């Protein structure tokens, strides 16, 4: 079986996330995509974050009608509770590293199963800074949602130093769009072209704070949840 793991803060989950997952399913014949909200995202520790329970609930709502999509508790806090009516929570100490999540998930997979890590190109360009980045490339294949303006050379140059091809090798690909499959000595990256939609969780939080409608950005059930819980108001 081909399994997709899609990690993020999902604060909230939006149509860009769902489009990426759908395109990855089609391209890599995924039987299941696990949406894994991080309890403590390593790269976003400075900004306020909604409670894990809210972010998980919105994923459950957004994926409810899709057979192959499922919310995952792989990075859930040991015990989580809502600490205020706005849903903000205090930060526990330990960040969720993707390599730990991948290794934990693999314990429940069969040898023949293939694991694919879904990620947008913005996050991918920072991948070399991730905890045990090289190990991550050994443990799973990557599915990267690219967008216009990023080249194949940008993707290769983002790799951790030990896996990165030399400049002379990547230079000819500076003008080649980031699309197709990139196979580089043990690293497999499937590039999804033009999946990226002009939407972000940040823009959604700002829209709520400004009292603007959300239906263009999120599933109706998620918009309804945000309204009923008062999430993002006054941020
Ligand atoms: P924020 O605005 O709060 O930073 P975000 O919209 O980038 O959030 P995250 O939960 O941080 O959402 O992202 C999870 C993953 O989804 C990342 O790999 C990110 O690159 C990818 N992603 C985010 N927005 C889009 C989009 N519009 N299209 C495709 N992928 C996206």
Taking the centre of ligand 1 as the mean of its atom positions, its distance from the CA of residue 15, in whole angstroms, is 10
The whole-number pLDDT of residue 91 equals 47
**Quick one: which of 204, 197, 202 has its CA closest to 225?**
204
Alpha helix (H) residue ranges in the chain: 15-28, 52-63, 98-106, 121-124, 133-139, 152-157, 167-170, 201-209, 220-229
Per-residue pLDDT at 175: 81
Write the Ramachandran bin of 197: left for phi over 0, alpha for psi from -120 to 50, otherwise beta: beta
Q: Is 96 in the pocket of ligand 1 (CB under 6 A)?
A: no
Q: pLDDT 10s per residue in the chain (235 long)?
A: 999 999 999 999 999 999 999 999 999 999 999 999 999 888 766 678 999 999 999 999 999 999 999 999 999 987 654 444 444 555 455 889 999 999 999 999 999 999 999 999 999 999 999 999 999 999 999 999 998 889 989 999 999 999 998 888 888 888 888 888 999 888 999 999 888 888 999 999 999 999 998 888 999 999 999 999 999 987 6
| CA 197 to centroid of ligand 1, rounded, Å | 10
Q: For the chain, which domains are there? A: 2-229 (3.40.50.620)
User: Tell me, what's the pLDDT at 172?
Assistant: 80
Paired tokens of 196: 């990226």
Pairing of strands 180-184, 187-192: antiparallel
Residue 122 near ligand 1, beta carbon < 6 Å: yes
| Measured distance CA(155)–CA(221) in Å, rounded | 35
Q: Residues 89, 56: contact at Cβ < 8 Å?
A: no
Per the CB < 8 A criterion, the answer to whether 82 and 34 are in contact is no
Instruction: Note the pTM of the prediction, 2 decimals.
Output: 0.92
**d(Cα 228, Cα 12) in Å, to the nearest integer?**
14
- Cβ–ligand 1 distance for 205 under 6 Å, the answer no
Rounded distance from Cα 157 to ligand 1 centre (Å): 21
Structure tokens at 158: 């983002």
* Signed CA dihedral, 91, 5, 121, 130: sign only: positive
Contact indicator for 153, 170 with CB cutoff of 8 Å: yes
Check residue 191 and give its pLDDT.
Answer: 95
Residue with tokens 């590293």: 97
> Residue 167: which of 157, 159, 177 has the closest Cα?
157
């Amino acid at each position: 079986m081909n399994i997709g793991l899609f990690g993020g803060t999902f604060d909230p989950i939006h149509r860009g996330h769902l489009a990426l997952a759908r395109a990855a399913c089609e391209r890599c014949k995924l039987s299941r995509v696990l949406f894994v909200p991080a309890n403590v995202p390593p790269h976003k520790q400075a900004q306020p974050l909604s409670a894990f329970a809210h972010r998980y609930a919105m994923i459950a709502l957004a994926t409810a009608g899709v057979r192959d999509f499922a919310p995952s508790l792989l990075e859930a806090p040991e015990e989580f509770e809502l600490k205020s009516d706005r849903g903000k929570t205090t930060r526990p100490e330990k960040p969720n590293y993707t390599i730990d999540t991948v290794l934990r998930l693999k314990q429940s997979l069969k040898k023949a199963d293939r694991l694919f890590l879904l990620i947008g190109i913005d996050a991918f360009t920072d991948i070399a800074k991730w905890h045990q980045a090289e190990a991550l490339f050994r443990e799973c294949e990557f599915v990267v949602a690219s967008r216009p303006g990023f080249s194949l050379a940008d993707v290769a140059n983002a790799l951790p130093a030990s896996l990165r091809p030399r400049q002379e090798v990547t230079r000819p690909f500076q003008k080649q769009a980031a699309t197709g499959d990139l196979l580089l000595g043990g690293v497999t990256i499937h590039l999804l072209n033009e999946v990226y939609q002009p939407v972000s969780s940040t823009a959604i939080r700002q829209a709520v704070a400004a009292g603007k409608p959300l239906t263009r950005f999120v599933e109706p059930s998620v918009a309804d949840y945000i309204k009923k819980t008062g999430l993002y108001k006054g941020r």
